[in-house]
Amino acid sequence: MFAKWEKLGETILMNSVLVTGGAGFIGSHLVGHLLETGWNVTTIDNFDPFYAREDKLLNLSGYRARRNLRVLELDVRNYPELIAHAAGRYDVIVHLAAKAGVRPSIADPGDYVETNVNGTQNMLSFARHCGAPQFVFASSSSVYGVNPRVPWSENDHVLMPISPYAATKVSGELLGHVYAQLFGIRFIALRFFTVYGPRQRPDLAIHRFARMMTQGLPIPVFGDGSTRRDYTYVEEVVQGIAAAMKYDRTLFEIINLGSHRTVALTELIETIEDALGVKAVLRHEPEQPGDVPQTYADVTKARALLGFEPRMPFPTGIENFARWLRERDSLMAKVA
């Protein structure tokens, strides 16, 4: 279960992990945590132009000098390139890479299927090729769709996805079940609930709202502002992923990672206002296709199987995000 890694004449026993999407928001936080806890990390990312390449490079900038990190620019859709450049011995594969976003998936469903379904199939085949015994998959709360039974439990097998993005995540879970049953690869699907914190993607509401508010631009409020989300702090999600990487009790599991509390859109805006010290200008718009009225995680299973215990107060998490945003803007201004 260990790989050798040579450093300054010493032979150190280290776990070996491959992380896809490692330059992204969640991925870069995970990479940092794994490096600090003694893992030998290979990460692949295709630097998709969904948002700026510079942002992703900045996400990894603090780790690039680490001897136990290898960064490869590869695309999970290209299986021959994966085999040619990333094949090796891995104790765990963490598959975070995906086309993100509910609304964009409605405009271009084919691209989402190609990346999220075929890409996941490629990574499962890659895991089999490399003999990786453990596979952790980033699924999504969006698989529950419009489900009035809250909080949402993994035991609810009636999934109601209402976007192509959500459907691709259901497909990824099912592919994982196939590989677990046929080839004995332990597959842990983690359903993330609206992850936030430093390095959050610029298209997500908290980041987008903060940018617009600091520029004095009106922010779009879809519907009456009563929609609710289960916001989960990124460092707590990373702890959940790390625990899933070591989980060994069963061959296949689906586990929610959420905060087990909900925040209304109006409360979200007020919390960002407090963290930034500005007042938002609101622009009310109709509800959007693909949006759900609420997300709410039951984390009983995560607590029991992974020791997952979300504790971050939402206002503190938003303050941490706002601090990072100011520091990032200051840094970018210096190098511009």
What 3-state DSSP class applies to 44? strand
158 exposed, middle or buried (CB, 10 Å; 0-12, 13-18, 19+)?
Answer: exposed
Q: Which residue carries 């010290």 as its tokens? A: 277
β-pairing, 3-7 vs 10-20, is antiparallel
- Beta-carbon neighbour count of residue 167 at 10 Å? 21
Helix axis angle for 314-335 and 205-214, nearest 10°, is: 60
DSSP state of 167: H
What 3-state DSSP class applies to 187? strand
Q: Which residue carries 């009035």 as its tokens? A: 148
User: What residue ranges in 9-133 does DSSP mark as E strands?
Assistant: 10-20, 39-45, 69-73, 92-95
214's tokens: 């600091």
What 3-state DSSP class applies to 253? strand
Catalytic residues: 165
